[in-house]
Amino acid sequence: MSSLPAPPAPAPEWAWFSDIDGTLIELADTPASLGNARHLPGLLTALSGRVGGALALVSGRPVANVLRLIAPCRIPVAGCHGLERLLPDGSLIRPPASSDLDRARRILAAFAADHPGVVFEDKDVVLGLHFRKVPQLEAACRAAVEQATSGNLGWFAGKMVFEVKPRGLDKGTAIQAFLDQTPFRGRLPVFLGDDLPDEAGFEVARARGGFGVLVGEPRPTRALYRLESVPAVLAWLSTLQAL
């Protein structure tokens, strides 16, 4: 695997998209934890102002959770891996309820109840099964997720988590939708992310003339550049604020 270079100096003319966990803040043991996120509101407010408002967060967290995390900062957000999108006018786009998802919810909640240490996360339109505290249960969790996936649902693996969600929408489609709107339209897109669901975002950024930045250890990726850690991301962004 060839090693990726560090990204070029950041530019305020770009359209900025970023994941949160593992990218702007360190990963936490449980999904509900705020981790070390105290720097987020100030950082995002300054960055958004610096780039003319062309900054959106694209997270696996639900939009409501992201808004609590970044308050009082208010910027465009795509949540639940692109299934939810908060529009500039404050309205929230999300997929309708689904009986397939209800069935998956029952199966995964029951599995977590029977397996201490496994954390079931219900994000309404996306369901997560976290095994960070019990890595030896990965195979059992995978089997439960496969059993829970039916109809129009798909599943994917993240860092110590399996997630179930409707097919067809992902972080890439969310970035695409933002890029068709002011103030993102016509700008070169850059997307920062650390995890496998971020690959769809890297792909779209590249297809629209920009690039992805992988955060963390090298791996096969569609990103063109890499930064080694959350502190490296914050240092890189700080050069933009100082411009």
Residues in contact with Mg ion by CB under 5 A are: 19, 21-22, 194-195
Least distance (Å) from Mg ion to the CB of residue 158? Answer: 8
User: Which residue number has the CB closest to Mg ion?
Assistant: 22
Which of 50, 41, 44, 37 has its CA nearest to residue 18? 44
**C-alpha span between 144 and 117 (Å, rounded):** 15
Output 60 or 166, the one with its CB closest to Mg ion.
Answer: 60
**C-alpha span between 33 and 25 (Å, rounded):** 11
Output 19 or 199, the one with its CB closest to Mg ion.
Answer: 19
Please pick, among 19, 21, 170, 198, the residue that the annotation labels catalytic.
Answer: 19
Output 69 or 107, the one with its CB closest to Mg ion.
Answer: 69
**C-alpha span between 16 and 65 (Å, rounded):** 20
Q: Do residues 219 and 210 make contact, with C-beta atoms less than 8 angstroms apart?
A: no
What does the angle CA 223 – CA 226 – CA 227 come to, to the nearest 5 degrees? 145
Output 17 or 111, the one with its CB closest to Mg ion.
Answer: 17
Least distance (Å) from Mg ion to the CB of residue 25? Answer: 9
**C-alpha span between 231 and 215 (Å, rounded):** 10
Q: Tell me if residue 19 is catalytic.
A: yes
CB atoms within 10 A of CB 33: 11
Least distance (Å) from Mg ion to the CB of residue 15? Answer: 19
Least distance (Å) from Mg ion to the CB of residue 195? Answer: 4
Catalytic residues: 19
